[in-house]
């Protein structure tokens, strides 16, 4: 039991760190643009707010949202619609940002305006992720891939991979488009595992079946919490590195980079709106 908790904690931490690395997401863009302004505290609060939303989506996906999914599916387009407006507002604000050399001074950042903005960072991070239901699908599939791989190596994941497999199958029965949206690449599928790996996988799953019934709740919370922590660690590290070396970048380049990121956020908003309309139609 203790071994499973330690194993799942390490797996969750690594998964959260690695799957948060792509720079293409809205939170990554916001962290990058604000880190270039030297706003480390803002970035840390932003990533913490985003990780809370991640935690909620992951715990629902891992512990079991399938019995609620039929109702949840109907509100997804509306959530995406609200999310598109929110992201558009944030994107426009970033594109209007004009950055000058004075802002490279850490002391200049501690103005009343920036302190007020920092207080809203936690809220902004949470809202951007919670209004992006596609994260739910992304985390549930990536978690299944990671946990299946760990189980194939003989690690005891407390039966989470089996539970996720069942959840995914049930969601696919409710939503026929789910499989297309979350198609697992062939090189990440484990149908071709050798016999030794399959035996290890079966042994790990038999071991998990002997665990207490309420253990699934505990291990689900543990995995979700450490996955969120891994995400925060990545964004804290990213913000620190960008802030530390931003003075070596030409100020005009920083301005163009920040405006470009604002435009990308606006494009994300358009994509969310398009997806919402497509689902309603």
pLDDT tens digit at each of 281 positions of the chain: 677 788 888 999 998 998 888 666 788 888 988 888 888 889 999 999 999 999 988 888 776 665 566 666 677 788 888 888 888 888 888 787 665 544 444 443 444 455 455 668 898 899 988 888 778 777 877 888 888 778 777 777 777 777 777 777 777 766 666 555 555 544 444 444 444 455 555 555 555 555 556 667 788 888 899 999 999 999 999 999 888 888 777 777 777 877 888 888 888 888 888 888 887 87
Rounded to an integer, what distance in angstroms lies between the CA atom of residue 281 and that of residue 277?
6
pLDDT of residue 109: 44
pLDDT of residue 186: 45
pLDDT of residue 101: 44
Strands (E), 9-159: none
For Cα atoms 112, 241, 116, give the angle at the middle one, nearest 5 degrees. 15
Residues 6 or more apart whose Cβ sits within 8 Å of residue 270: 84, 88
Residue 94, classed as helix, strand or coil, is helix
Check residue 186 and report its DSSP letter: G
pTM (two decimals): 0.75
Biggest CA-to-CA distance, the chain = 63
Task: State the Cα torsion 207-209-213-216 to the nearest 10°.
Answer: 70
């Amino acid at each position: 039991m203790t071994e499973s908790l330690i194993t799942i904690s390490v797996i969750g931490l690594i998964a959260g760190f690695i799957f948060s690395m792509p720079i293409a997401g809205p939170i990554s863009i916001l962290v990058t643009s604000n880190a270039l302004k030297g706003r480390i505290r803002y970035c840390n609060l932003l990533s913490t707010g985003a990780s809370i939303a991640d935690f909620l989506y992951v715990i629902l996906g891992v512990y079991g949202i399938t019995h609620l999914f039929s109702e949840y599916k109907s509100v997804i387009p509306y959530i995406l619609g609200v999310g598109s407006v929110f992201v558009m507002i944030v994107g426009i604000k970033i594109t209007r940002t004009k950055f000058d050399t004075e802002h490279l001074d850490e002391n200049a950042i501690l103005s009343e305006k920036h302190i007020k903005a920092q207080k809203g960072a936690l809220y902004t991070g949470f809202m951007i992720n919670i209004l992006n239901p596609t994260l739910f699908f992304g985390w549930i599939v990536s978690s299944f891939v990671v946990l299946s791989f760990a189980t194939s190596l003989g690690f005891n994941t407390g039966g989470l991979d089996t539970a996720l497999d069942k959840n995914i199958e049930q969601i696919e029965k409710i939503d026929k488009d789910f499989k297309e949206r979350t198609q697992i690449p062939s090189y990440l599928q484990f149908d071709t595992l050798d016999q030794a790996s399959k035996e290890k996988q079966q042994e790990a799953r038999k071991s998990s079946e002997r665990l207490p019934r309420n253990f699934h709740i505990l291990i689900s919370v543990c995995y979700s919490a450490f996955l969120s922590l891994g995400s925060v660690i990545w964004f804290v590290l990213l913000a620190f590195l960008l802030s530390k070396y931003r003075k070596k970048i030409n100020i005009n380049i920083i301005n163009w980079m920040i405006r470009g990121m604002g435009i990308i956020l606006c494009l994300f908003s358009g994509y969310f709106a398009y997806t919402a309309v497509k689902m309603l139609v």
